[in-house]
Chains A and B, each alone.
Chain A
Amino acid sequence: MATAHKEPNYLGVFWWLLALTILEIAVIYMPVARMIIVILLIGLALSKASLVGLYFMHLKFERFTLGLVALTPLVLCLFLILMISPDIHP
Protein backbone atom coordinates (compact mmCIF):
# COMPACT_ATOMS: atom_id res chain seq x y z
CA MET A 1 0.00 0.00 0.00
CA ALA A 2 1.28 3.46 -0.83
CA THR A 3 2.62 5.62 1.99
CA ALA A 4 0.33 8.62 2.45
CA HIS A 5 1.94 12.03 2.78
CA LYS A 6 0.93 15.61 2.12
CA GLU A 7 1.56 16.47 -1.52
CA PRO A 8 4.36 19.02 -1.96
CA ASN A 9 3.77 22.32 -3.76
CA TYR A 10 5.21 21.14 -7.10
CA LEU A 11 4.72 24.47 -8.86
CA GLY A 12 6.50 26.24 -6.00
CA VAL A 13 9.47 23.87 -6.48
CA PHE A 14 9.35 24.59 -10.23
CA TRP A 15 9.63 28.36 -9.65
CA TRP A 16 12.56 27.80 -7.27
CA LEU A 17 14.33 25.64 -9.88
CA LEU A 18 13.72 28.26 -12.55
CA ALA A 19 15.00 31.10 -10.32
CA LEU A 20 18.13 29.14 -9.38
CA THR A 21 18.82 28.36 -13.08
CA ILE A 22 18.56 32.07 -13.98
CA LEU A 23 20.86 32.85 -11.04
CA GLU A 24 23.39 30.32 -12.36
CA ILE A 25 23.52 32.06 -15.74
CA ALA A 26 23.94 35.42 -14.00
CA VAL A 27 26.77 34.09 -11.82
CA ILE A 28 29.05 33.22 -14.77
CA TYR A 29 29.02 36.88 -15.87
CA MET A 30 29.70 38.27 -12.38
CA PRO A 31 32.95 40.25 -12.09
CA VAL A 32 34.26 38.31 -9.08
CA ALA A 33 37.12 35.88 -8.41
CA ARG A 34 36.97 32.56 -10.27
CA MET A 35 36.97 30.59 -7.01
CA ILE A 36 33.84 32.41 -5.80
CA ILE A 37 32.08 31.66 -9.10
CA VAL A 38 33.01 27.95 -8.80
CA ILE A 39 31.73 27.75 -5.20
CA LEU A 40 28.50 29.59 -6.07
CA LEU A 41 27.81 27.41 -9.14
CA ILE A 42 28.44 24.14 -7.29
CA GLY A 43 26.27 25.35 -4.40
CA LEU A 44 23.44 26.32 -6.77
CA ALA A 45 23.68 23.01 -8.67
CA LEU A 46 23.57 20.98 -5.43
CA SER A 47 20.59 23.06 -4.22
CA LYS A 48 18.69 22.36 -7.46
CA ALA A 49 19.59 18.65 -7.35
CA SER A 50 18.41 18.51 -3.71
CA LEU A 51 15.07 20.13 -4.62
CA VAL A 52 14.51 17.52 -7.36
CA GLY A 53 15.52 14.66 -5.06
CA LEU A 54 13.59 15.81 -2.00
CA TYR A 55 10.34 16.96 -3.61
CA PHE A 56 10.00 15.42 -7.10
CA MET A 57 11.52 12.06 -6.10
CA HIS A 58 9.79 12.34 -2.69
CA LEU A 59 12.94 11.54 -0.67
CA LYS A 60 11.74 14.02 1.97
CA PHE A 61 8.80 11.70 2.65
CA GLU A 62 10.61 8.36 2.39
CA ARG A 63 12.32 6.36 5.09
CA PHE A 64 15.68 7.67 6.28
CA THR A 65 17.47 4.48 5.14
CA LEU A 66 16.32 5.03 1.55
CA GLY A 67 17.90 8.48 1.76
CA LEU A 68 21.16 6.76 2.71
CA VAL A 69 20.88 4.55 -0.41
CA ALA A 70 20.40 7.71 -2.48
CA LEU A 71 23.38 9.46 -0.86
CA THR A 72 25.78 6.52 -1.28
CA PRO A 73 26.91 7.51 -4.83
CA LEU A 74 27.76 11.03 -3.62
CA VAL A 75 29.91 9.64 -0.80
CA LEU A 76 31.64 7.23 -3.20
CA CYS A 77 32.31 10.05 -5.67
CA LEU A 78 33.89 12.14 -2.91
CA PHE A 79 36.01 9.09 -2.04
CA LEU A 80 36.97 8.76 -5.73
CA ILE A 81 38.06 12.42 -5.84
CA LEU A 82 40.11 11.89 -2.69
CA MET A 83 41.78 8.80 -4.14
CA ILE A 84 42.72 10.34 -7.49
CA SER A 85 43.69 13.76 -6.19
CA PRO A 86 47.42 12.80 -5.80
CA ASP A 87 47.51 12.17 -9.57
CA ILE A 88 46.24 15.64 -10.51
CA HIS A 89 49.06 17.79 -11.86
CA PRO A 90 47.76 21.16 -13.02
Chain B
Amino acid sequence: MSEAAVMHAAVEPAESPLTPESWGKLGMWIFLAGDAMSFGGLIVGYGLLRYSSSNWPVPSHVLGINLTAFMTFLLICSSVTMVLSLSAIKRGDQSGLKKFLFLTVLGGVAFLGLQAYEWSHLIERGLTISGNPFGGALFGATFFVLTGFHGCHVFGGVVYLSCVLGQALRGRFGEHHHNGVEIAGLYWHFVDLVWILIFTFVYLL
Protein backbone atom coordinates (compact mmCIF):
# COMPACT_ATOMS: atom_id res chain seq x y z
CA MET B 1 0.00 0.00 0.00
CA SER B 2 1.37 3.45 -0.86
CA GLU B 3 2.14 6.04 1.83
CA ALA B 4 -0.71 8.25 0.55
CA ALA B 5 -3.17 5.37 0.81
CA VAL B 6 -2.10 4.65 4.39
CA MET B 7 -2.56 8.33 5.34
CA HIS B 8 -5.96 8.42 3.58
CA ALA B 9 -7.14 5.40 5.53
CA ALA B 10 -5.97 7.04 8.75
CA VAL B 11 -8.12 10.16 8.33
CA GLU B 12 -11.28 8.61 6.88
CA PRO B 13 -13.38 6.00 8.68
CA ALA B 14 -13.48 2.79 6.68
CA GLU B 15 -17.10 2.06 7.52
CA SER B 16 -20.10 4.23 6.69
CA PRO B 17 -21.90 5.05 9.97
CA LEU B 18 -25.45 4.49 8.67
CA THR B 19 -24.88 1.82 6.03
CA PRO B 20 -21.97 -0.36 7.19
CA GLU B 21 -21.99 -2.37 3.96
CA SER B 22 -21.02 0.55 1.70
CA TRP B 23 -20.64 4.31 1.39
CA GLY B 24 -22.31 4.08 -2.01
CA LYS B 25 -25.55 2.99 -0.40
CA LEU B 26 -25.51 5.98 1.95
CA GLY B 27 -24.76 8.23 -1.04
CA MET B 28 -27.76 6.83 -2.90
CA TRP B 29 -30.02 7.36 0.13
CA ILE B 30 -28.91 11.00 0.43
CA PHE B 31 -29.47 11.51 -3.31
CA LEU B 32 -32.94 9.95 -3.03
CA ALA B 33 -33.83 12.16 -0.06
CA GLY B 34 -32.93 15.22 -2.16
CA ASP B 35 -34.82 13.87 -5.16
CA ALA B 36 -37.84 13.15 -2.97
CA MET B 37 -37.90 16.83 -2.02
CA SER B 38 -38.02 17.76 -5.74
CA PHE B 39 -41.02 15.48 -6.23
CA GLY B 40 -42.51 16.70 -2.95
CA GLY B 41 -42.22 20.33 -4.07
CA LEU B 42 -43.90 19.49 -7.39
CA ILE B 43 -46.72 17.53 -5.76
CA VAL B 44 -47.35 20.24 -3.14
CA GLY B 45 -47.31 22.86 -5.94
CA TYR B 46 -49.81 20.74 -7.87
CA GLY B 47 -52.06 20.55 -4.83
CA LEU B 48 -51.85 24.31 -4.27
CA LEU B 49 -52.78 25.13 -7.89
CA ARG B 50 -55.55 22.57 -7.95
CA TYR B 51 -57.10 23.67 -4.67
CA SER B 52 -56.95 27.33 -5.75
CA SER B 53 -58.70 26.60 -9.06
CA SER B 54 -62.49 26.70 -9.28
CA ASN B 55 -62.85 24.66 -12.48
CA TRP B 56 -60.22 21.93 -12.15
CA PRO B 57 -61.45 18.84 -14.07
CA VAL B 58 -62.04 15.51 -12.32
CA PRO B 59 -58.90 13.58 -13.38
CA SER B 60 -60.69 10.23 -13.70
CA HIS B 61 -63.02 11.82 -16.29
CA VAL B 62 -60.12 13.00 -18.46
CA LEU B 63 -57.25 10.59 -17.83
CA GLY B 64 -57.28 6.85 -18.53
CA ILE B 65 -57.45 5.27 -15.06
CA ASN B 66 -57.44 1.67 -16.32
CA LEU B 67 -54.29 2.22 -18.39
CA THR B 68 -52.45 3.96 -15.56
CA ALA B 69 -53.59 1.30 -13.09
CA PHE B 70 -51.95 -1.22 -15.40
CA MET B 71 -48.81 0.97 -15.54
CA THR B 72 -48.79 0.96 -11.72
CA PHE B 73 -49.07 -2.83 -11.78
CA LEU B 74 -46.13 -2.97 -14.23
CA LEU B 75 -43.91 -0.85 -11.97
CA ILE B 76 -44.84 -2.94 -8.91
CA CYS B 77 -43.95 -6.10 -10.88
CA SER B 78 -40.63 -4.57 -11.93
CA SER B 79 -39.89 -3.71 -8.28
CA VAL B 80 -40.52 -7.35 -7.37
CA THR B 81 -38.18 -8.60 -10.13
CA MET B 82 -35.59 -6.10 -8.88
CA VAL B 83 -35.63 -7.49 -5.32
CA LEU B 84 -35.63 -11.02 -6.74
CA SER B 85 -32.49 -10.22 -8.74
CA LEU B 86 -30.78 -9.02 -5.53
CA SER B 87 -32.03 -12.08 -3.69
CA ALA B 88 -30.65 -14.30 -6.47
CA ILE B 89 -27.13 -12.82 -6.41
CA LYS B 90 -27.05 -13.01 -2.59
CA ARG B 91 -27.42 -16.78 -3.08
CA GLY B 92 -24.75 -16.71 -5.80
CA ASP B 93 -27.33 -17.41 -8.53
CA GLN B 94 -25.84 -15.61 -11.58
CA SER B 95 -28.51 -16.70 -14.07
CA GLY B 96 -31.29 -15.58 -11.68
CA LEU B 97 -29.60 -12.17 -11.35
CA LYS B 98 -29.43 -11.71 -15.13
CA LYS B 99 -32.96 -13.00 -15.76
CA PHE B 100 -34.62 -10.79 -13.13
CA LEU B 101 -32.54 -7.72 -14.05
CA PHE B 102 -33.58 -8.17 -17.67
CA LEU B 103 -37.25 -8.44 -16.65
CA THR B 104 -36.88 -5.26 -14.56
CA VAL B 105 -35.46 -3.36 -17.54
CA LEU B 106 -38.26 -4.77 -19.70
CA GLY B 107 -40.85 -3.53 -17.18
CA GLY B 108 -39.31 -0.04 -17.30
CA VAL B 109 -39.31 0.03 -21.10
CA ALA B 110 -42.94 -1.15 -21.21
CA PHE B 111 -43.90 1.58 -18.72
CA LEU B 112 -42.23 4.24 -20.91
CA GLY B 113 -43.96 2.88 -24.02
CA LEU B 114 -47.36 3.06 -22.30
CA GLN B 115 -46.63 6.57 -21.04
CA ALA B 116 -45.75 7.68 -24.58
CA TYR B 117 -49.04 6.14 -25.78
CA GLU B 118 -50.98 7.90 -23.01
CA TRP B 119 -49.34 11.26 -23.71
CA SER B 120 -49.92 11.08 -27.49
CA HIS B 121 -53.54 10.11 -26.92
CA LEU B 122 -54.09 13.03 -24.52
CA ILE B 123 -52.32 15.50 -26.82
CA GLU B 124 -54.61 14.37 -29.66
CA ARG B 125 -57.57 15.23 -27.40
CA GLY B 126 -56.16 18.74 -26.92
CA LEU B 127 -54.37 18.42 -23.57
CA THR B 128 -51.09 20.33 -23.86
CA ILE B 129 -48.64 21.96 -21.49
CA SER B 130 -50.08 25.41 -22.32
CA GLY B 131 -53.80 24.64 -22.27
CA ASN B 132 -56.63 22.14 -22.43
CA PRO B 133 -60.34 21.98 -23.27
CA PHE B 134 -61.30 20.37 -19.93
CA GLY B 135 -61.10 23.45 -17.64
CA GLY B 136 -58.42 24.53 -15.16
CA ALA B 137 -55.79 26.34 -17.25
CA LEU B 138 -52.84 24.70 -15.49
CA PHE B 139 -54.22 21.15 -15.55
CA GLY B 140 -52.15 20.23 -18.61
CA ALA B 141 -48.99 21.96 -17.37
CA THR B 142 -49.03 20.26 -13.96
CA PHE B 143 -49.91 16.88 -15.49
CA PHE B 144 -47.08 16.93 -18.05
CA VAL B 145 -44.49 18.36 -15.65
CA LEU B 146 -45.21 15.79 -12.91
CA THR B 147 -45.55 12.71 -15.12
CA GLY B 148 -42.73 13.92 -17.38
CA PHE B 149 -40.33 14.42 -14.46
CA HIS B 150 -41.17 10.93 -13.26
CA GLY B 151 -40.83 9.55 -16.80
CA CYS B 152 -37.32 11.05 -16.98
CA HIS B 153 -36.50 9.14 -13.80
CA VAL B 154 -37.85 5.90 -15.30
CA PHE B 155 -35.74 6.50 -18.43
CA GLY B 156 -32.67 7.17 -16.23
CA GLY B 157 -33.46 3.99 -14.30
CA VAL B 158 -33.70 1.93 -17.48
CA VAL B 159 -30.29 3.23 -18.61
CA TYR B 160 -28.81 2.67 -15.12
CA LEU B 161 -30.20 -0.87 -14.83
CA SER B 162 -29.04 -1.70 -18.38
CA CYS B 163 -25.50 -0.76 -17.28
CA VAL B 164 -25.86 -2.96 -14.17
CA LEU B 165 -27.18 -5.78 -16.40
CA GLY B 166 -24.11 -5.30 -18.65
CA GLN B 167 -21.87 -5.66 -15.59
CA ALA B 168 -23.83 -8.74 -14.49
CA LEU B 169 -23.33 -10.30 -17.93
CA ARG B 170 -19.57 -9.79 -17.49
CA GLY B 171 -19.74 -11.53 -14.11
CA ARG B 172 -18.91 -8.46 -11.99
CA PHE B 173 -21.25 -9.47 -9.13
CA GLY B 174 -21.10 -12.37 -6.73
CA GLU B 175 -22.46 -13.79 -3.50
CA HIS B 176 -20.33 -11.41 -1.40
CA HIS B 177 -20.11 -8.57 -3.92
CA HIS B 178 -23.59 -7.28 -4.72
CA ASN B 179 -23.62 -3.66 -3.50
CA GLY B 180 -23.96 -2.37 -7.06
CA VAL B 181 -27.20 -4.33 -7.54
CA GLU B 182 -28.58 -3.23 -4.16
CA ILE B 183 -27.82 0.46 -4.80
CA ALA B 184 -29.41 0.35 -8.28
CA GLY B 185 -32.40 -1.40 -6.69
CA LEU B 186 -32.83 1.46 -4.20
CA TYR B 187 -33.14 3.90 -7.09
CA TRP B 188 -35.64 1.70 -8.93
CA HIS B 189 -37.85 1.16 -5.87
CA PHE B 190 -37.81 4.92 -5.27
CA VAL B 191 -39.13 5.45 -8.82
CA ASP B 192 -41.90 2.93 -8.04
CA LEU B 193 -42.68 4.60 -4.69
CA VAL B 194 -42.99 8.04 -6.31
CA TRP B 195 -45.31 6.66 -9.01
CA ILE B 196 -47.58 5.24 -6.30
CA LEU B 197 -47.99 8.80 -4.95
CA ILE B 198 -48.37 10.40 -8.41
CA PHE B 199 -50.99 7.80 -9.35
CA THR B 200 -53.02 8.75 -6.29
CA PHE B 201 -52.59 12.54 -6.34
CA VAL B 202 -52.74 13.17 -10.11
CA TYR B 203 -55.00 10.38 -11.39
CA LEU B 204 -57.29 9.22 -8.58
CA LEU B 205 -57.95 12.20 -6.30
- Which A residues form the contact surface with B (CB < 8 A)? 1-3, 7, 10-11, 13-14, 17-18, 21, 24-25, 27-28, 37-38, 41-42, 44-45, 48-49, 52-53, 56-57, 62-63, 65-66, 69-70, 72-74, 76-77, 80-81, 84, 87-90
Contacts and interface: CB of A to CB of B under 8 A. Distances in A.
B186 interface: yes
With most chain A CB atoms within 10 A of its CB, the pick from B37, B90, B185 is: B37
Given A44-B200, A57-B189, A1 B20 contact: yes
Contacts of A27: 204
A7 B189 CA distance: 17
A63 B51 CA distance: 38
B204 A24 contact: yes
Interface of B: 17-21, 26, 29-30, 32-34, 36-37, 40-41, 43-44, 47-48, 51-52, 54, 60, 65, 69, 72-73, 76-77, 79-80, 82-84, 87, 90, 176, 178-179, 185-186, 189-190, 192-193, 196-197, 199-201, 204-205
A21 B79 CA distance: 15
A45 B40 contact: no
Contacts of B196: 45, 48-49, 52
A58 to B, nearest CB: 8
Given A42-B205, A45-B199, 8 more contacts: A1-B21, A14-B77, A25-B65, A57-B190, A63-B19, A70-B33, A73-B36, A90-B52
B65 A21 contact: no
Contact of B69 (A21, A49, A53, A72): A21
Given A45-B196, A77-B37, A65 B18 contact: yes
Contacts of B200: 24, 41-42, 44-45
Given A24-B200, A57-B186, A73 B33 contact: yes
A3 to B, nearest CB: 6
A25 B69 contact: yes
A42 to B, nearest CB: 7
A72 B19 contact: no
A10 B80 contact: yes
